Structure 1
Amino acid sequence: MLENKLGINNSAELAEAEERLTKQRAIELYDTGQIDKIPVGTYQGLSEIHYALFQDIYDFAGELRTENLAKGNFRFAPVLYLPEAIKAVDELPQNSYREIIAKYVEMNILHPFREGNGRSSRIWLDQMLKASLGKVVDWSKIPKDDYLLAMERSPVKDIEIKALIADALTDRTKSRAVFMKGLDQSYAYEGYQVYSSSELTKSSGKRKRFKK
């Protein structure tokens, strides 16, 4: 279990606290408009999103990981090559749908953070799509198993993930409902399903501004 700021030593308790606190931060990021001030399509922007979400939980929020990671039989980019690899991904174009998804897949392969990569990068992807195409993903339309399988295959062939996301695009870029439903689905992909965004909206209080 990851060391955390809350001093929690139980994995189930930590997962519940992480879902609640980071979802609240994501909602605040959207409601305050701060989300639209973050650099689009860069590691810096992704880092700011990650920090905004995880600042209450982990000391490594927004920080590049310092250890090698693997998921199943797939090994993410080695720590030794991360800085240069991130520079290369930063330079990838993001003008068309195909370019944006390719960039998203490449950043996923890098997996720059110790925890919370998927939840942060899906917000990052939406910001690229909104800025370049005037679209966002309605994540609630993409089933968990389909998404996870497509992402697992994406380092070899990204046709499936491109098709899945293309079918879920919407021009409702200013819809809070789309964002909230998408947030819940994004967390469900990672197994976090205790709190709904609508419940957390009612309990969110004022906290310090997002600043890395």
Structure 2
Amino acid sequence: MTLKNKLGINNSVELACEEEKISKKRALELFENNSLENMEAGKFSSLAEIHRLLFTDIYDFAGQVRDVNLAKGNFRFAPVIYLSAALESIDKMNQSTFDEIIEKYVEMNIAHPFREGNGRSMRIWLDLMLKKELHLVVDWSKIDKEDYLLAMERSPIKDLEIKHLLKAALTSDISNRIIYMKGIDTSYYYEGYAAYKTDEL
């Protein structure tokens, strides 16, 4: 299944390649023009703006809350009917400590507010929180792909694993472009739309 897109691409592999190339270019622009510095850390409005800026050239729904239900494997993300309330609750969560920040990240992953591109947007959003609150970011190059995916998969039940994994990869090198860009490397953190099941509303 290929998502309707502004590029007119009907092949899912071709779309994934173009999506990665364009979103990386937009992410680099975010970093280099300091747009992230003006965003409020930990707020959904900031995550939505990050998503909009990354994907506005590709999807009409960039920055917009999804209107379909999503599932991955046997796990169903927050149903559309409860999504707005969930996002309001996440906005109010504390974020002054590492544990609180990761708990907020896990809850946002459960909400999965966008039709596509949640992982890339949320990793930038997570690093924005860590940077502003703790003056740290995650060095994603130190995290094994499979370990990360499994820890995130299990995090709704128990978040100790993802906390341990991310804490071990923290760095104070918060202005390193290479470290920042590794967080949106989709070939490293696979999140392809083909892995999702949707219930159209």
Q: Distance in 1 between matches of 2:69 and 2:179?
A: 35
Report matched runs for 1:154-193 at 5 Å.
Answer: 154-184=155-185, 187-190=187-190
Match of 1:136 in 2: 137
Q: CA deviation at 1:39?
A: 1.8
Contact between 2:117 and 2:191, CA under 8 Å: does it hold in 1? no
Q: TM-score, normalised by structure 1?
A: 0.87
Q: Distance in 2 between matches of 1:187 and 1:122?
A: 14
Contact between 2:96 and 2:133, CA under 8 Å: does it hold in 1? yes
Match of 2:125 in 1: 124
Structure 1 gap segments, 5+ residues each: 193-212
SS of 1:103's equivalent in the other structure is: helix
Contact between 1:49 and 1:120, CA under 8 Å: does it hold in 2? yes
Taking only the aligned residue pairs, the percentage that are identical comes to 59
Q: Distance in 1 between matches of 2:105 and 2:92?
A: 13
SS of 1:90's equivalent in the other structure is: helix
Q: Distance in 2 between matches of 1:12 and 1:31?
A: 29
Contact between 1:119 and 1:187, CA under 8 Å: does it hold in 2? no
Contact between 1:130 and 1:136, CA under 8 Å: does it hold in 2? yes
Contact between 1:82 and 1:110, CA under 8 Å: does it hold in 2? yes
Contact between 1:94 and 1:100, CA under 8 Å: does it hold in 2? yes
Q: TM-score, normalised by structure 2?
A: 0.92
Q: Distance in 2 between matches of 1:79 and 1:167?
A: 34
Q: Distance in 1 between matches of 2:178 and 2:62?
A: 27
Q: Distance in 2 between matches of 1:106 and 1:32?
A: 29
Match of 1:71 in 2: 72
Q: Which runs of 4+ in 1 moved over 4 A?
A: none
Q: Which amino acid aligns with 1:134?
A: H
Shift of the 153–142 alpha-carbon distance from structure 1 to 2, 3 Å rule, reads same
Q: Which amino acid aligns with 2:21?
A: R
How much is the aligned-residue C-alpha RMSD, in angstroms? 1.2
Q: Which amino acid aligns with 1:110?
A: A
Match of 1:53 in 2: 54
Match of 1:202 in 2: none
Q: Distance in 2 between matches of 1:182 and 1:11?
A: 22
Match of 1:31 in 2: 32
Q: CA deviation at 1:191?
A: 6.3
